[in-house]
Every structure is written in C-alpha cells, then in structure tokens.
Structure 1
Amino acid sequence: MEEEEEAAAAEEVVAEESAAAAEAPTATGEVAAKGMQQGLSLLIKTDKAQWTEPNTHLLCDLWVEQIRAGNCHKGTMSGRGYKIIVDKYSMVTGLKHDKMQLRNRINQLKIMYGFWKELQKQSGFGRKADGTVSALEWWWKDNTKERFSECKKLQYGAPEYIDQLEEIFYDVVVDGFTSYLVGFDGEEEQDGEDV
C-alpha cells in the first residue's frame, strides 16, 4: 500500500514537472530577469534585436529626446529615460526591446562614432563631398577589422543620424583632440616669479 502511494506521488510530481516544462517559454528573445520584489523571478518577453537603419535612427531620436528632457547626465541614461525609450520604441516599431538591448546598441554606436571622429582627424586621404575618407578597400578592411563591424559602413558616408550621435556622445567620447589636467590652469610659474 505504501509503495503504491509513493508511486502515485512520484507520478504526480513527474506530471507536474512535465506540465511546467510544457508551459515554460522557449521562444527566441525571451529572457529571465530576476525580480527583487518578493524574491520572484519575472519573465520578460523581448524580441530579437533588429537594428535596421530606420530602427537605429529612431533609437537615436528617442535618446536625444531624453537627453533634452534631462533624463541623461554625462552619458548615463536614467531608469525613467530608459522606460520612456523602451515604451516609445515599442509603440512605433512593434518590437519589444529591453534596457540591455538598447544600451548594447548605444555602446555599438559609441564605437562607430569614435571611429568617425578619428576619421575626421585623418590627413593624407582624399575626401568625398560629405567629408568621408576616400580610401582603398584594403585600408577599410585593415582599419575596421579590430573594431565593431558596422564601422566599415562609414566608407560609404556618415549615417543619417550622425547629428544625433554628435549630441548623444558630446563630452562622452574621448577623441584625443583636447585634454585637461586637473589642477593645471594653463599658466606657468618661473622660479616663483609671476609671469
């Protein structure tokens, strides 16, 4: 009798586990996020990131909007800013991207923008009408292989959202053009004499 009860209990546990496994999300783009509230795990369904040029342009527009609204300080977007961007991006595109996907894309754009700024300082190259470096294919291959692959797109010109990138990364991207030494005001003293 006891063995039958144990077998029935074991079958019930297996059936419960099978039902739970059948209900568990398995679609691409679903990630588990640990919720701090009441120690529960929350499942947030997200779409696979689709960073087409129009989607990237929209993200840049929304990011700039939040900078102007005061929700981003020195390159760090506030939680409120992220929520607004996530909601508006989803409303316009129909795609559900989370904070991490947005931040990853902004970080990719930061690399590309840094490379663009570097290109603007290059000398010895021809220039196209839009300011793009005119170089041979091998130069682009050699100079973009260690970077984010989208940097190679810059050989065809600046992205349509370059002005937004300028605003997003203003005072954030270090391009080596200027520097500042803490405690140095630019005036030199000579042997204790005023200059």
Structure 2
Amino acid sequence: MASQKETFMAKWTEPLTNELVSLLVAEVKKGNHTTCTYNKTGWNNIHTKFNKRTGLHFSIVQLKNKVNKLKRHYGSFKKLLSQSGFGWDNVNNTVAVTDQSVWETHIKNNSEWAKFKNDGFPQYLDLCIELDENPIDDGAFTPNVTITLDRQKRKLDRTPNSKRRRKSNTYDVSNACKAIHKMIKFKTRAVVAILNGMPNLEQDLYNKAVNQSCLNATWREAFIISLPDRRRGLLESL
C-alpha cells in the first residue's frame, strides 16, 4: 500500500505518459468519451488499468491533471504545425521544418514552442484520436509532402509575387492533411481486402490486423507488400 506522500507525488516519465495516452485512446474507442471528457466508466477504467499496468498508485485527479496538461500541449503543438514552413516528421514524431532558421523567430513569439524543437510531441497523433480530431495517422504528414504541394500550388498560381507571398503566409496545411488522409483510408481498405481473401482466418487475428492497420502506417505498408505466404506470420506476431 502506497503512503499518502507517495500517492500525492506523481512523477511523469515518457513511458508513463505513453501508457496513459494509450488508455485514453482505448476508452474513446469504447465510446466512453463525451464531447469534453470521459464518463465515469471511462475514468474508472483508465485509473484502474493505469495503476495495474504500472504498479503505481496515482489518483484519478492526478491522471486528469496530466490529461489537461497534454491537451494544452496538443493545442500549442497543433498551432505550431499550422505555421508557414513547419510540418510533421512521421519517423521521429516531431516537428520538421523546411529551414532551421524559422525556429528562432517563432520561439521568440511563443517560448512554449521551444520544447517541441528538441523533444517533439510523440503523443500528438494519439491525442488526435482522444480529442476527436480525425487523425492523419503516423505516416501521413511529412515535410516533403508539404513542400511538394506548396510548389505545385505556386506553379498553378500566376498572381504577382507580392500578392502570392501574402497568400503563402496564411497557407493552411489542412488541405494536405485531408488529401493524405484519403490515401491512408485507401491503403487501410487494401489491408482489409487482403484479409477478406485469406481463408480460415480467425476472427481474433482479423480484428487485431484491422486495428493495427488503422494505427500503424509502417505495419500497414509491410503487410501490403509482403508475400502472401508471409502475411500469416505478421498476423500471428500481433
């Protein structure tokens, strides 16, 4: 039994934060998340499973405080990604920039963004699910894609440079995200089509594969390009 002092002091490490976020996402999928927060069942599940998996004795209040802090970081990080010259690095789960010099100006205007330059925000995509933001998955938004789309836009835009420069300052990455999200949906459907064509596939493996396909871009790609006789092994490793 933890002492009152041990229970009160919550020290959050990266693995503990990731564990909490995974439980948040799980409760969203179960339907235990309302417009603003989780219902009583959701919080009880998160509280019980978190302490059981970690061997700690955090209170629900401590977990809620951490979630509120993550939400604030999420809002700040999302705003950063909307700035001109910034994108999402799907490999390192961090911010990617077309030119490192853009950091200096933006950090001066918002000191909170400084932590994202070094640490990124690994939980960003999972929190998209928790906050019902239609996430683009962990292989979706890369700086190369953003640059390519921006260049294509300029090729089609024949307005004078001065006017086009003003437009670029307000360029919204949401259109790029939407286009890539459609591509991800298509690839997920491809995985499901392959699964449907596999004879005698157990329902449990089918469910795990569909879930993994939605959450993990790397696994999804590997499954699609694997030889037919190798796919069963990938499924059994889940």
Instruction: Report the TM-score when normalising by structure 1.
Output: 0.55
Which of 29, 34, 40 matches 1:68?
A: 29
1:49 aligned counterpart, secondary structure: coil
Q: Give, in whole Å, the separation in 2 of the partners of 1:50 and 1:98.
A: 12
Q: 5+ unaligned residues in a row in structure 2: which ranges?
A: 135-171, 175-238
Q: Give, in whole Å, the separation in 1 of the partners of 2:87 and 2:29.
A: 33
Aligned residue runs from structure 1 range 1-195, under 5 A = 27-29=4-6, 46-123=7-84, 125=85, 129-130=89-90, 132-134=95-97, 135=100, 138-139=104-105, 141-145=107-111, 147=112, 151-156=113-118, 158-171=120-133
Relative to structure 1, the CA distance from residue 140 to residue 79 in structure 2 (aligned partners, 3 Å threshold; closer, same or farther) is same
Aligned-partner residue type, residue 107 of structure 1: N
Q: Give, in whole Å, the separation in 2 of the partners of 1:126 and 1:82.
A: 35
Could you report, residue by residue, the CA deviation over 1:118-164 in whole angstroms, capped at 9, with x for unpaired residues?
111101x365855715455654653444x5xxx53311364332221
Relative to structure 1, the CA distance from residue 167 to residue 104 in structure 2 (aligned partners, 3 Å threshold; closer, same or farther) is same
The root-mean-square deviation of aligned C-alpha atoms, in Å, is 3.1
Q: Give, in whole Å, the separation in 1 of the partners of 2:116 and 2:30.
A: 30
The percent of aligned pairs where both chains have the same amino acid is 27
Larger helix proportion, structure 1 or 2?
2
Instruction: Report the TM-score when normalising by structure 2.
Output: 0.46
For the pair shown, which has the larger CA radius of gyration, 1 or 2?
A: 1
Q: 5+ unaligned residues in a row in structure 1: which ranges?
A: 1-25, 30-45, 179-195
Q: Give, in whole Å, the separation in 2 of the partners of 1:63 and 1:144.
A: 28
Could you report, residue by residue, the CA deviation over 1:157-191 in whole angstroms, capped at 9, with x for unpaired residues?
6433222111111259xxxx89xxxxxxxxxxxxx
